[in-house]
Structure 1
């Protein structure tokens, strides 16, 4: 799922216009420029029926949209939403936006990036 989700974002001209190839799971490499996307799997569970596994997985993925200004972070988040919300195909049964938050990284005001966090529910074939 992780590779397919990253590939889906990198295939979008609307997303890559902002981040080029800076779409990573776990963390943004130190020293790399912004804007960037950082993806984190928050939960991942197997779908079950009374007869056992149903062959589907459901995962919650947080996508953090980092940029040097609030406006740039917000524009990036809108590009991500446009690609993912309601998407199906390529192994995904469905990808749905579940929540969004506007944040600022802690610390003093100098050089702190702005962040918009998006939570997506993904249902995909195991």
Structure 2
């Protein structure tokens, strides 16, 4: 799922997409992803599907850059089903609230993603 999600989002947004956190000096806008939680749904006959909570952070030098990246992510991923992904549902959206003018701006999206391994 991780590789599939990265390829899917990289093709849909106009900025780099990566797992983990960005390094100092990377260009923005940037989309970073991290797994917040995950669990397997077992059945009597198989190991079943996985469901993970994936946080997708959209970063920008300005709030507008971060918001545009978040809209691109939402457009492709909200309600998505295909490849290893059975379903993707947006469960939360948050904005950063830094008062530091030099800080990067962030829009965080949390998706519940059900997928096959």
Work out whether the TM-score is over 0.5. yes
Where structure 2 has 5 or more consecutive residues not aligned to the other structure, the ranges are none
Q: Determine whether 1:85 maps to 2:91.
A: no
Q: What's the offset of the Cα at 1:24? A: 1.1
Q: Which residue of 1 aligns with 2:64?
A: 71
Q: Distance in 2 between matches of 1:64 and 1:87?
A: 18
C-alpha RMSD of the superposition: 1.5
Q: The residue matched to 2:100 in structure 1 has which SS?
A: coil
Q: Is 2:7 the counterpart of 1:7?
A: yes
Q: Which runs of 4+ in 1 moved over 6 A?
A: none
Gaps of 5+ in 1: none
Match of 1:96, SS state, is strand
* Equivalent residues of 1:97, 1:118 under 8 A apart: yes
The answer as to whether partners of 1:104 and 1:113 remain within 8 angstroms in 2 is no
Count residues in correspondence. Answer: 117
Tell me, in whole angstroms, the C-alpha distance in 1 between the residues paired with 2:28 and 2:62: 10
**Post-superposition offset of 1:104:** 3.7
Q: 2:42 aligns with which of 44, 48, 55?
A: 48
